[in-house]
Each structure stands twice: as C-alpha cells, then as structure tokens.
C-alpha cells in the first residue's frame, strides 16, 4: 500500500475523467442496483442500496466488517435469494436469473476466499468456466500475463501461494471474458508487492472497458485504482465520493472505518 507514484501516474487519466464523479452523467451504466434490500433470515443486512458501475470504471464499496459489502456482491451475482430491489446489467433487469446465467451474461465473481478448486489443477481452474465474450483472454495471453500460472499449471489449485491464488482467480474471470468483475477484497492478506501487481491488473482490465466493483478495506489501495467510492455502514450507503474527495478525506475515513 506504499509506492503510490506509479499507480497514481497510470490512473491519472481515469481520475480526471470522473473528477466530479457523483454528479457526473454516465451515459452507459453497466451495472445498476436500485433500492436493494437483503436479509439473512430475520436480520436485514442491506437497506435500500442504490449503486451503479459504468464500463471501464472501477468503483469501490468501503465499509467495516458486517456493513453488507459481500452480501451486495452476492446479490448481484444471484447467490443471495433473500433480497428485494432491482439489479440490471446493460439495461436489462436480471430479475431472478440464476447465478450461472448471470455469469454467462458477463458478471465475473472473485470471492474473498479466491474460490480456487483444490480438486482441479491450475490449468483446469482456468479452463472450467465457459468463454462468454469475444474479448475474453485466450489462454496463451493469460499465461503470458501470469507466467507463474503457466509454470504451475499442473499443480492442484490450492498448492499456490495466496497471491498466486488471487492471480489465478482474476485470470479465471479474464479468460472467461467477464465484462463486470466483482472483486471481494483482492488485497487482503497479501504482501505489498503483490498488492501492487493486483493494482496493475485492475488498471489493465479497466483500460479494456471492463467494469469493476471492488470491495476493499484497504483505503490506500482503493484510492490508487478506483474512480468512485461508496461508503457502506449498517447496510446503507452513507457517502458517495469521487476519488479526489476520497483521497482528501483519507484520514477521516480511516478513523471512521476503525483502521
């Protein structure tokens, strides 16, 4: 979470484009969540949440543990049936479509536990999901971009280090060709140099017009990659900030998040 210089430089363009982010008009909204409420049994974990993500935009969800960030990602993915509200992708309501249909429509989920299969090799982990979009990365490109995955392609997926598993999880959705990535705490528990690498990957895919909804507790890291930020507390959006405001109020936000 150090070494801001390179990342700031490469994401400068994106940042200027959405400098006045919350108010700015975004013509094409890739993901649009409106009035989302979700429950676990009797407990309400999300109340009337509305957020959106445009193509080529990185949006973070920031909040304490239990604020409902992961539930929001799961709801978008179609894995949390106890919800109300509408979720649409490229203008089409996802309604009650199943998780696999959503994945084929272009949503790629990278869960916080990376979701690597122990019973599949690295290569199989990559090849398991179907290719859903013409812009999907061919396997050669994946291996070129992540040489370590090529090197270890015949290892069981979970024999990789934490950072490598994170690479694998992200590479998997890129190979699939997902247009909207749901990244759940990709930097968690990883060494700074790996976190930096993940930042580079995010900027790379952003440049290809992929939208990213990023759940992150690492505020510093979030500020190096994101265009806008939603601050979630007790299941509600309490703040919506452009990256400049976010950077400016970093200290305050850190205190608020208890970090």
- Which residues contribute to the site for other proteins (CB under 8 A)? 77-79, 98-104, 109, 111, 113, 115, 117-120, 124, 127-130, 132, 172, 176
Collapse the DSSP code of 193 into the 3-class scheme (helix H, G, I; strand E, B; otherwise coil) and give the result.
helix
Rank residues 182 and 232 by Cβ distance to other proteins and give the closer one. 182
127 Cβ neighbours under 8 A, 6+ residues apart = 139, 175
Smaller CB separation from other proteins, 129 or 242: 129
In whole angstroms, how close is the CB of 22 to other proteins at the nearest point?
A: 30
Phi/psi at 45 (nearest 5 deg)?
-110, -15
| Shortest Å, Cβ 168 to other proteins | 13
Write down the least CB distance from residue 154 to other proteins, Å. 12
Distance of closest approach, residue 173 Cβ to other proteins, in angstroms: 8
Rounded Cα–Cα distance for residues 212 and 205 (Å):
9
CA gap 21, 227 in Å, rounded: 8
Bridge partners, 220 (sequence order): none
Q: How far is the CB of 96 from other proteins (least distance, A)?
A: 14
- Residue whose CB is less far from other proteins, 4 or 124: 124
Cα–Cα dist 79/56, whole Å: 25
63/78 with CB nearer other proteins: 78
Q: Residue 257: which of 64, 68, 88 has the closest Cα?
A: 64
């Amino acid at each position: 979470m150090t070494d801001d210089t390179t990342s700031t430089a490469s994401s400068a363009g994106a940042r200027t484009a959405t400098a006045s982010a919350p108010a700015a008009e975004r013509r094409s909204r890739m993901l649009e969540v409106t009035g989302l409420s979700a429950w676990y049994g009797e407990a309400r974990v999300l109340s009337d949440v509305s957020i959106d993500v445009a193509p080529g935009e990185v949006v973070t969800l920031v909040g304490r543990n239990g604020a409902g960030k992961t539930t929001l990602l799961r709801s978008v993915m179609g894995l949390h049936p106890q919800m109300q509200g509408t979720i649409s992708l490229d203008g089409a309501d996802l309604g009650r479509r199943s998780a696999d249909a959503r994945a084929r429509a272009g949503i790629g989920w990278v869960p916080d536990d990376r979701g690597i299969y122990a019973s599949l090799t690295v290569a199989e982990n990559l090849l398991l999901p179907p290719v859903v979009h013409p812009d999907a990365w061919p396997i050669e490109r994946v291996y070129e971009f992540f040489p370590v995955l090529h090197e270890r392609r015949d290892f069981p997926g979970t024999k990789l280090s934490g950072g490598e598993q994170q690479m694998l999880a992200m590479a998997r959705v890129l190979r699939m060709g997902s247009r909207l990535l749901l990244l759940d705490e990709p930097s968690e528990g990883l060494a700074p140099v790996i976190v930096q690498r993940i930042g580079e990957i995010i900027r790379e895919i952003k440049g290809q017009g992929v939208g990213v909804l990023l759940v992150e507790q690492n505020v510093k890291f979030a500020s190096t990659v994101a265009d806008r930020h939603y601050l979630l507390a007790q299941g509600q959006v309490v703040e919506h900030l452009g990256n400049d405001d976010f950077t400016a109020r970093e200290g305050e936000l850190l205190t608020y998040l208890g970090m």
